[in-house]
Amino acid sequence: MSASPYAAVDTVIFDLDGTLIDSEPDLRAALNQMLASLGRRTVTRAEVVMMVGDGVPKLVERALRITDAERDLAPEAAVAQFLGFYEAAPADLSAPFPGAFEIVRVLKADGIKLGICTNKPEAPARDILAVFGFLEFFDVVIGGDTLADVRKPDPRPLAAAIEAVYSQPERAVMVGDSANDIDPAKALGMRSVAVSFGYSRGAAAALGADTVIDDFSELREVLVGLA
């Protein structure tokens, strides 16, 4: 059996929205269905990109605020309505980012343990992964509701993902597109890779990741080069 080319890594944890999957179109569609039912204006892609990443309650709260800050509405009801729309069609308009499926398949074939750590609820996260053929490659999926509503940037969901695959932070790498991915990795002493094509609210280079990639074709070389 040949030696692994990965001297320092046995686990890679990916964020989902804005990292593996461009899920914004389906999020926007569900938000706009919810907003239309409330008689409010629709939101644009640029607006939704700036709102995602902190879980469904925050996404809905931000959509309500920017469409009519003066009208009071019980956020719990709006969240439930949004989830009804979204969970009915979580992947109709979404698509993997270029090279995402290929790098996941290559890493799995190389013997790397793979996980997802996302603030999206676990059930639709699994549905999306299944639709695009990713689910079979992942050893663990941690969603925004997996740990009783503990979400990134709290490091506990990421720690749970690493523990589930029997790895250690120093042997794992987080791949994501926002501070919610990079900051918990730092807190755990993990290395991190930021993607430049995701939903970061600023430049990916400003997130403080160990490396920034512009395309998934770069990721294997980055991981192999870690010492």
Closest CA relative to residue 169, chosen from 187, 139, 154, 189: 189
In a domain, 183, yes or no: yes
- On whether both 131 and 177 belong to a single domain, the answer is yes
In this structure, which amino acid lies at residue 165?
V
Question: Band of the pLDDT at 4, cuts 50, 70, 90?
Answer: confident
- On whether both 132 and 215 belong to a single domain, the answer is yes
- The whole-model pTM stands at 0.94
pLDDT average, residue stretch 142-168? 96
Cα separation, 192 vs 177, whole angstroms:
10
CB 20 within 8 A of CB 14: yes
Domain of 107 in residue numbering reads as: 11-22+95-224
- On whether both 107 and 168 belong to a single domain, the answer is yes
In a domain, 5, yes or no: no
Q: Angle 57-60-66 (CA atoms, 0-180°, nearest 5)?
A: 135
Q: pLDDT of 173-216, one tens digit each?
A: 999 999 999 999 999 999 999 999 999 989 999 999 999 999 99
Residue ending a domain, choose from 88, 111, 139: 88
- On whether both 56 and 158 belong to a single domain, the answer is no
Question: Band of the pLDDT at 72, cuts 50, 70, 90?
Answer: low
Q: pLDDT of 29-59, one tens digit each?
A: 999 999 999 999 999 999 999 999 998 999 9
Rounded to an integer, what is the distance from CA 164 to the centroid of its chain? 18
CATH number of the domain where residue 41 is located: 1.10.150.240
The DSSP bridge pattern shows strands 172-176 and 21-22 to be unpaired
Query: Can you give the pLDDT at residue 6?
Result: 94
Cα separation, 98 vs 20, whole angstroms:
9
CA dihedral 165, 167, 168, 169 (to 10 degrees): -60
- On whether both 212 and 108 belong to a single domain, the answer is yes
- Catalytic position from the list 15, 26, 177, 181: 15
In a domain, 4, yes or no: no
Question: What b/e readout covers 101-115, taking b as 16+ CB neighbours within 10 angstroms?
Answer: bebbeebbeeebbbb
What percentage of the chain exceeds 90 in pLDDT?
A: 89
- On whether both 162 and 134 belong to a single domain, the answer is yes
Half-sphere exposure of 164 (CA within 13 A, CB side): 20
Cα separation, 99 vs 212, whole angstroms:
15
Mean pLDDT (the chain) is 94
The pair of structure tokens assigned to 156 is: 């506990």
Structurally, how many domains does the chain consist of? 2
CATH number of the domain where residue 154 is located: 3.40.50.1000
181 is catalytic: no
Q: Angle 117-100-165 (CA atoms, 0-180°, nearest 5)?
A: 35
Q: What is the DSSP code string of 104-136? A: HHHHHHTT-EEEEE-SS-HHHHHHHHHHTT-GG
Q: pLDDT of 97-121, one tens digit each?
A: 999 999 999 999 999 999 999 999 9
Q: pLDDT of 119-145, one tens digit each?
A: 999 999 999 999 999 999 999 999 999
